[in-house]
C-alpha cells in the first residue's frame, strides 16, 4: 500500500508555525541578538553573534509563533536616542530566527524605532483572490462610525450624507449594478439623511494638482528658410509636487504603520550548522537600499539636527496607453510607488498605494505644421521629430524634479509622523520601470542604436554572446556612467546645434555621439541629481514582461510556428499543435486558463497568455519535428521555462541566484545552437498574419506618399530567420545583477503600471472627452481624498462581513453539511463489478482505524496501543448508519516558497482533481522521487466509532478522507536531464491502484498534462470503470513542474524558504540542480568568436541530454502492459 509520509514536523508547521504572521523577524523588541562594533565595512551577515540570554525562556519566545494573532494597536515608535546619532560607532542589530529560520539584521547606530511587521497578521500574508480584489475596488464595504456628526471630519463635504452620496458615486464603480442601487437606497433611506443635506455643490474641483506650461526650444538648422532657435509652447503639464506626495504618504496613518523606516538584511539559516545566506525580495531588504541607508547614516547630520534620518525609496513607472478601443485618445501617466512598502501590497490595486504624479504630453499634431513652415514647406525629418520629442519629455521631468525636491534630496524634509515623532526624510530615486522605447528616452540614447542597452556600452554585434563569461565581464567594465566625458560630448553637440546651426544628425554631431549611441538632449535627471552622486543609468531596471514574455519567448514561439509551417505538409503540424493546446487542462483559479481555439495564430494575446504557452509547451511540441530537432527543441523549451521560473521568483536566495546565472549560461548556449543547427535546415517564411500586418503598414505608407498599389514582391511572403541580435535578449544577462541590487523582479516589473492603466481608463469615461487630462487629474484627487475620509471614519467592528470559506490557518476545509449521503452497501451494490470498488470497505476500515485511534488518543491522553492485524479490522470500526457523505469541493491552504499563504481548490468533477503528497521518507532517502501523485475520485467524510479493545464510548467522530486513484512513475527525471517527470495509471487489477488519503497529508494540487504522443488508453472511448471515469485516460502523463513558481521550487529540494518539510530531510536528488559549469563555458568560448555568429559543435549539443530512448521505451512498455480491458473482460461490465 502506498504510504505518504506523515511528515509530522511539516503538519505542525502547516497548522501552527506556518500561520506565523512574521516573515522575517523572530522576536519583538528588545532585540534578541546584538552585535556591537562595526565601522560600516563588510556585510553584516559576516559578523559574529552574541545571544542575550539574560531573559527568561518565556520572554525570549517569539510571539509570532502563536497559533492565533491578537489584534494589535498601532505600535508607537520610541523617540530615538539622539546621543547615539552623533556617534561614529555603527552597530548591527539582529533578531532570533523565526519558524522558517529567517532573521533580520539591521545596520544602524541606534535601535530601530518602527517595525511595520508588528501589525502584520496572517491575513496580510494570504494571497488575495481576484474576486476579493474586485470587491475591494467596487462598492465600499466599510461602515462609518456612529455617533455625533462632525462636519469637519467630512470636509470638503458639508456633512455625512453628502459624503456618503459622493462616495457612492465616485468609488462605487463606473457601471452601476443592482447591488449599487440598493446601496444608494440604503443611503437615502437613512433616518439621519435629508434632502437638504445634499446642497448640489461639487467640492474640491481640481485641487491637489498643478498646471504648468511647458516651453521647449526648437533648433532649425542654417540651411532652412527660418534658421535659429524658436520657442514652442506645448500643452499644459498636469502634475503633483513630489515632496507633497511624500508628505501626504507619511501623514496617512494606515500607510505609515506599514512604512519601513529602516532597511535590513533578510538572512536564512537552512540548517542549524549552516552559515546564514542572503534572501532577496523586497526593495527595503535589497543591497541598494541598505547601501543608501549606510551612506546616509555615515554622513554628517544637518547642523543642529538630531532627528532620525530615513531614506524614502521612490519607484517610478510610466507608459503611454490608449484610453479607448477605437479612436486616438491617449494618456501618458507617470506613477510613483514607495519602496519602503511591501511589494505584495504595492501590486494590489485594492491597497491604493499607487500615486499618480503627472500626465505627460506628446508633441501635438499641430507641431508638424509649425515645423513644416520653418523648413520651407518640407515635412520635418524623423530624426528632428525624435529630438523634439526627447526635449519635451525631459522638459516635463525638469518640472517634476523641482528645486524643492532637489533640496529634499540634499538636506531632507522634516515631517511629524502619525505617532507624533519627527524624523528627517531623504527621498531617493531607486528604480524606473518602462518599456524599451521609454528607457531610451530616459537614458537619452538612440532607440536601437549601435549600443542599444541603456545600462552598458556592449555593441549590437556582440549581443548574441549572452551567457559567455566575457559578456558578463563586459557588462561591468562597459557599464554606462554619467561622467564628465559623456556630459562634455552632449554639451558640445548641443552647442553645435543650438549655437552654430548644425542639424541634429549632421556629420559633426554624429562624430561626437554615434560611438556610444548618445543623443544631443540634456537629461533632466543628470542635470538635477548628478551632483548628488546619482547615476541615472542604474535606475533603468529590467522588465520581465516586455523583455522576455513579450520579447524573447514570443520571438522564439513565433519562429517555432514558422518551422512547423515549413516542416509540415500544409498546416497539419499547426493544427496538431492547436489541438494539443486545446486539450491541455486548466489549473488553479487563473494560473493556466483554457487556451484559445488556435494558439498558433496568437490573436489578441497578452503577456500572461504567452506565459501559459511556455509553461505547457513541452508536451505540446513533443515529436512534432523529426530527430534530432525534436530533442533540441524540447531541451531548449525546458531551459527557457526554467529561466523564466527563476527570473520570476518572488523570493530569491544567493543559491537560487547562482542557479539563475548557470541557467542563463545554458540558455544562451542553446539559443545559439538552435539558430545554427535547428533553424538552418528549414526555409522559414513570414506567417500569414505577419505578412498581412506588413502589407497593411505598407499600404498606409503608399497612400501617404500618393502611390496606388503595391508591387508583387511586396505582397509575397518574405523569408524570415531567427534573430539573436536584439536588446531584449541582451537584457536577460542583467537579471541576476538587478535582483541582487534591487530585489526580485516582481517589485519593479511593468505589470503594476499596466494594471494601474485600468483606473485611468475608467476615469476617462467620466470625462467629457475634451479636456480629459485635467478632468482625470481632478477625479484622481477626489477619489483619493474620499478614501482618506473613509479610512479615518472606518469602523472595523462595523465592517460588512464577507462570507469566508475557510480560515488561512486551517490546512484544509471541507463543508460541514451532510446533504449528499451515500449508503456504503448500496453504493457497492450499485457499482458491483467496477474494479475501482474492489475491497473498498476493507481498505476504508484499514484507513479509518489509525485515524480514529489518533483522535481518541489526542482527546483522552491515552497511550497508543499496537495496531491490530488487518484480518481483525472489520469489527473494530463502526461507520454510523453505514453512510459516507460526499462533498463537491475541498479547499487546501498551503505555505508557498516565499512564506505566503495560498489556496488550491480540489474538484473531482473537473481537471482540478490531481494532488501531490510527500513520499515515504525511506524511499526518498533511497533516491526515489520525493512526491506521490493521485487523482481524486471523491471527497467524503464518515462518522466513525471505535469499538475495539480499549473502547471508551460510542461517540462517533468525523473523519474526512479522499478516495483516489494512484499514479505510478515511468522514470525518474530531474532538471539536469531537461525533461519533465512522467507517470501513468497502473492496471486496475493491482491491489494498490486505488486508495484513501488523509487531507492533512496533501501538499497541494498539481498540474498533470497528457503525453499526447502516446495516445489514449481506450481508443474506442469506452472505459471499464464508471467510478474512475477512465474513458478519456491517456497512456502517459507529464507532471508540469513549471505551472507556477511554488511548484517549480518544490522540485529544487531545500531551496524554498517556506517549504519547511524540505529543510530537515536529505535531498533525494542532490545533483538535480547541477547545471553548466565554468569549464564548459570556457570550452564554449574557445569555439566561438566574440563578434560573429558561430555554432556549437555536435559534442556540445549532446551536453544536456533530454529524453533518452531507454526512457521512452520504458514508458511505451509500461503503457502497453496497462490494458485493463483484458483483466476485467470477464466481469461483463457495462460503462
Q: Mean of the pLDDT values across residues 499-520? A: 96
Name the nearest CA neighbour of 337 among 320, 360, 359, 317.
317
In a domain, 319, yes or no: no
Distance CA 36, CA 44 (A): 11
CA 1107, 1110, 1113, 1117 dihedral sign is negative
**pLDDT tens per residue, range 243-295:** 999 999 998 888 888 999 999 999 999 877 678 999 999 999 999 999 999 99
In a domain, 384, yes or no: no
The whole-number pLDDT of residue 156 equals 67
Distance CA 980, CA 1022 (A): 29
Distance CA 751, CA 729 (A): 19
Within this chain, do residues 731 and 860 fall inside the same structural domain, yes or no?
Answer: no
Within this chain, do residues 820 and 706 fall inside the same structural domain, yes or no?
Answer: no
Q: Mean of the pLDDT values across residues 525-537? A: 96
Give the chain's domain count.
Answer: 3
Kindly tell me the burial class for residue 655, based on how many C-beta atoms sit within 10 Å of its own C-beta (0-12, 13-18, 19 or more).
middle
Within this chain, do residues 913 and 1042 fall inside the same structural domain, yes or no?
Answer: yes
Distance CA 513, CA 535 (A): 19
In a domain, 454, yes or no: no
- Of 685, 711, 735, the position where a domain reaches its end is 735
In a domain, 718, yes or no: yes
Q: Mean of the pLDDT values across residues 99-104? A: 92
Q: Mean of the pLDDT values across residues 623-634? A: 96
Q: Mean of the pLDDT values across residues 434-444? A: 97
Distance CA 488, CA 516 (A): 13
In a domain, 288, yes or no: no
pLDDT band at 363 (very low <50, low <70, confident <90, very high): very high
- Of 170, 189, 208, the position where a domain reaches its end is 189
Within this chain, do residues 1045 and 948 fall inside the same structural domain, yes or no?
Answer: yes
Residue in this structure with the C-alpha cell 543628470, named with its chain if needed: 526
Percent of the chain having pLDDT more than 90? 58
Domain of 1035? 812-1073+1105-1131
In a domain, 705, yes or no: yes
Pull the grid cell for residue 52. Answer: 542575550
The residues pairing with 162 across neighbouring beta strands, listed in sequence order, are none
In a domain, 579, yes or no: yes
pLDDT band at 141 (very low <50, low <70, confident <90, very high): very low
Q: Mean of the pLDDT values across residues 912-933? A: 80
Within this chain, do residues 719 and 864 fall inside the same structural domain, yes or no?
Answer: no
- To the nearest 10 degrees (0 to 180), the angle between helices 436-443 and 382-400 is 70
pLDDT, greater one: 969 or 189:
969
The whole-number pLDDT of residue 274 equals 78
In a domain, 974, yes or no: yes
Q: Which residues contact 952 (CB under 8 A, 6 or more apart)?
A: 856, 860, 946
Within this chain, do residues 731 and 865 fall inside the same structural domain, yes or no?
Answer: no
**pLDDT tens per residue, range 118-132:** 777 777 777 754 444
**pLDDT tens per residue, range 688-717:** 988 888 888 888 777 666 665 666 556 688
Within this chain, do residues 719 and 624 fall inside the same structural domain, yes or no?
Answer: yes
Within this chain, do residues 693 and 824 fall inside the same structural domain, yes or no?
Answer: no
Amino acid at each position: 500500500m502506498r504510504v505518504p509520509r506523515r511528515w509530522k514536523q511539516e503538519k505542525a508547521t502547516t497548522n501552527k508555525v506556518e500561520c506565523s504572521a512574521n516573515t522575517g523577524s523572530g522576536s519583538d523588541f528588545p532585540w534578541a541578538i546584538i552585535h556591537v562594533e562595526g565601522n560600516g565595512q563588510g556585510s553584516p551577515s559576516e559578523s559574529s553573534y552574541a545571544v542575550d540570554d539574560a531573559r527568561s525562556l518565556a520572554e525570549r519566545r517569539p510571539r509570532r509563533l502563536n497559533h492565533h494573532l491578537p489584534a494589535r494597536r498601532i505600535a508607537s515608535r520610541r523617540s530615538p536616542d539622539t546621543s547615539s546619532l552623533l556617534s561614529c560607532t555603527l552597530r548591527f542589530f539582529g533578531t532570533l530566527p523565526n519558524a522558517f529560520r529567517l532573521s533580520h539584521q539591521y545596520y544602524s547606530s541606534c535601535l530601530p524605532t518602527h517595525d511595520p511587521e508588528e501589525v502584520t497578521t496572517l491575513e496580510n500574508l494570504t494571497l488575495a483572490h481576484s474576486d476579493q480584489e474586485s470587491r475591494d475596488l467596487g462598492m465600499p464595504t466599510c461602515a462609518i462610525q456612529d455617533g455625533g456628526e462632525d462636519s469637519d471630519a467630512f470636509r470638503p463635504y458639508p456633512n455625512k450624507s453628502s459624503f456618503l452620496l459622493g462616495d457612492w458615486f465616485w468609488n462605487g464603480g463606473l457601471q452601476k449594478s443592482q447591488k449599487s442601487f440598493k446601496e444608494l437606497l440604503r443611503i437615502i433611506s437613512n433616518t439621519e439623511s435629508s434632502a437638504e443635506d445634499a446642497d448640489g455643490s461639487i467640492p474640491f474641483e481640481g485641487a491637489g494638482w498643478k498646471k504648468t506650461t511647458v516651453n521647449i526650444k526648437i533648433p532649425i538648422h542654417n540651411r532652412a528658410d527660418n534658421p535659429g532657435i524658436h520657442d514652442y509652447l506645448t500643452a499644459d503639464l498636469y502634475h503633483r509636487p513630489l515632496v507633497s506626495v511624500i508628505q501626504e504618504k507619511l501623514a496617512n496613518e494606515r500607510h505609515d504603520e506599514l512604512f519601513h523606516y529602516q532597511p535590513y538584511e533578510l538572512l536564512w539559516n537552512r540548517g542549524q550548522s549552516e552559515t546564514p545566506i542572503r534572501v532577496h525580495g523586497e526593495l527595503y531588504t535589497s543591497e541598494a537600499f541598505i547601501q543608501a541607508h549606510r551612506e546616509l547614516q555615515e554622513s554628517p547630520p544637518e547642523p543642529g539636527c538630531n532627528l532620525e534620518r530615513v531614506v524614502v525609496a521612490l519607484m517610478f513607472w510610466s507608459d503611454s496607453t490608449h484610453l479607448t478601443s477605437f479612436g486616438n485618445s491617449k494618456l501618458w501617466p507617470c506613477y510613483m510607488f514607495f519602496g519602503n512598502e511591501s511589494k505584495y501590497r504595492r501590486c494590489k490595486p485594492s491597497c491604493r498605494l499607487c500615486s499618480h504624479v503627472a500626465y505627460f504630453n506628446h508633441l501635438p499634431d499641430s507641431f508638424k505644421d509649425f515645423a513644416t513652415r520653418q523648413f520651407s514647406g518640407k515635412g520635418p525629418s524623423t530624426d528632428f521629430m525624435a529630438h523634439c520629442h526627447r526635449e519635451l519629455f525631459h522638459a516635463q521631468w525638469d518640472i517634476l524634479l523641482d528645486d524643492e525636491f532637489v533640496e529634499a534630496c540634499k538636506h531632507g524634509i522634516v515631517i511629524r509622523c502619525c505617532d507624533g515623532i519627527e524624523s528627517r526624510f531623504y527621498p531617493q530615486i531607486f528604480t524606473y520601470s518602462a518599456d524599451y522605447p521609454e528607457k531610451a528616452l530616459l537614458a537619452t540614447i538612440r532607440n536601437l542604436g549601435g549600443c542599444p542597452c541603456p545600462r552598458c556600452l556592449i555593441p549590437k554585434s556582440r549581443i548574441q554572446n549572452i551567457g559567455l563569461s566575457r559578456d558578463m565581464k563586459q557588462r561591468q567594465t562597459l557599464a554606462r556612467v554619467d561622467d564628465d566625458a559623456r556630459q562634455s560630448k552632449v554639451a558640445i553637440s548641443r552647442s553645435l546645434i543650438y549655437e552654430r546651426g548644425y542639424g541634429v544628425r549632421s556629420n559633426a554631431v554624429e562624430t561626437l555621439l554615434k560611438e556610444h549611441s548618445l543623443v544631443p538632449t540634456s537629461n533632466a535627471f543628470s542635470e538635477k541629481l548628478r551632483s548628488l552622486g546619482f547615476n541615472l543609468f542604474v535606475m533603468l531596471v529590467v522588465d520581465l514582461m516586455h523583455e522576455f514574455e513579450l520579447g524573447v519567448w514570443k520571438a522564439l514561439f513565433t519562429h517555432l510556428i514558422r518551422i512547423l509551417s515549413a516542416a509540415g505538409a500544409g498546416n497539419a503540424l499547426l493544427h496538431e499543435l492547436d489541438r494539443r493546446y486545446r486539450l491541455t487542462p486548466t489549473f488553479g483559479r487563473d494560473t493556466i486558463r483554457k487556451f484559445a481555439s488556435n494558439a498558433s495564430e496568437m490573436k489578441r494575446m497578452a503577456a500572461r497568455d504567452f506565459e501559459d504557452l511556455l509553461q505547457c509547451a513541452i508536451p505540446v511540441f513533443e515529436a512534432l519535428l523529426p530527430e534530432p530537432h525534436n530533442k533540441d527543441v524540447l531541451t531548449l523549451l525546458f531551459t527557457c521555462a526554467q529561466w523564466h521560473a527563476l527570473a520570476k521568483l518572488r523570493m530569491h536566495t544567493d543559491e537560487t541566484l547562482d542557479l539563475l546565472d548557470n541557467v542563463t549560461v545554458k540558455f544562451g548556449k542553446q539559443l545559439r545552437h538552435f539558430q545554427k543547427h535547428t533553424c538552418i535546415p528549414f526555409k522559414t517564411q513570414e506567417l500569414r498574419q505577419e505578412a498581412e500586418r506588413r502589407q497593411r503598414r505598407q499600404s498606409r505608407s503608399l497612400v501617404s506618399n500618393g502611390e496606388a498599389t503595391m508591387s508583387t514582391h511586396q505582397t509575397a511572403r518574405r523569408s524570415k530567420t531567427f534573430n539573436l541580435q536584439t536588446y531584449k535578449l541582451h537584457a536577460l544577462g542583467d537579471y541576476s545583477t538587478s535582483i541582487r541590487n534591487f530585489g526580485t523582479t516582481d517589485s519593479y516589473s511593468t505589470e503594476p503600471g499596466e494594471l494601474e492603466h485600468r483606473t485611468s481608463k475608467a476615469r476617462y469615461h467620466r470625462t467629457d472627452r475634451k479636456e480629459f487630462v485635467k478632468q482625470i487629474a481632478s477625479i484622481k484627487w477626489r477619489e483619493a481624498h474620499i478614501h482618506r475620509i473613509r479610512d479615518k471614519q472606518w469602523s472595523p467592528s462595523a465592517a460588512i462581513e464577507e462570507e469566508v470559506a475557510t480560515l488561512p490557518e486551517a490546512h484544509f476545509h471541507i463543508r460541514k453539511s451532510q446533504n449528499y449521503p451515500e449508503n456504503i452497501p448500496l453504493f457497492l451494490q450499485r457499482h458491483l463489478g467496477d474494479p475501482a470498488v474492489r475491497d473498498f470497505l476493507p481498505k476504508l476500515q484499514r484507513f479509518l482505524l489509525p485515524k480514529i485511534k489518533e483522535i481518541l488518543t489526542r482527546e483522552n491522553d491515552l497511550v497508543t496501543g499496537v495496531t491490530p492485524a488487518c484480518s481483525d479490522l472489520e469489527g473494530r470500526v463502526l461507520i454510523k448508519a453505514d453512510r459516507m457523505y460526499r462533498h463537491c469541493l475541498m479547499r487546501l491552504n498551503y505555505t508557498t516558497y516565499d512564506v505566503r499563504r495560498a489556496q488550491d481548490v480540489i474538484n473531482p468533477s473537473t481537471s482540478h482533481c490531481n494532488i501531490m503528497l510527500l513520499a515515504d521518507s525511506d524511499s526518498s532517502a533511497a533516491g526515489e522521487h520525493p512526491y506521490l501523485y493521485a487523482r481524486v475520485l471523491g471527497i467524503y467524510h464518515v462518522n466513525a466509532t471505535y469499538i475495539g479493545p480499549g473502547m471508551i464510548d460510542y461517540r462517533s467522530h468525523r473523519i474526512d478522507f479522499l478516495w483516489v486513484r494512484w499514479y505510478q512513475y515511468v522514470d525518474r527525471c530531474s532538471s539536469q536531464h531537461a525533461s519533465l517527470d512522467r507517470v501513468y495509471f497502473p492496471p486496475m487489477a493491482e491491489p494498490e491502484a486505488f486508495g484513501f488519503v488523509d487531507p492533512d497529508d496533501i501538499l497541494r494540487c498539481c498540474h498533470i498534462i497528457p503525453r499526447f504522443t502516446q495516445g489514449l488508453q481506450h481508443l474506442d472511448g469506452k472505459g471499464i470503470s464508471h467510478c474512475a471515469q477512465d474513458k478519456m485516460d491517456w497512456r502517459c502523463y507529464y507532471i508540469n513542474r513549471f505551472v507556477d513558481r511554488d511548484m517549480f521550487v518544490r522540485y529544487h529540494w531545500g531551496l524554498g524558504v517556506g517549504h519547511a518539510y524540505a529543510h530537515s530531510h536529505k535531498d533525494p536528488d542532490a545533483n538535480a540542480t547541477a547545471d553548466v559549469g565554468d569549464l564548459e563555458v570556457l570550452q564554449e568560448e574557445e569555439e566561438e568568436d566574440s563578434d560573429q555568429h558561430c555554432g556549437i559543435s555536435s559534442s556540445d549539443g549532446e551536453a544536456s541530454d533530454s529524453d533518452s530512448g531507454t526512457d521512452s521505451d520504458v514508458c511505451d512498455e509500461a503503457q502497453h502492459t496497462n490494458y485493463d480491458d483484458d483483466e476485467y473482460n470477464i466481469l461483463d461490465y457495462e460503462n
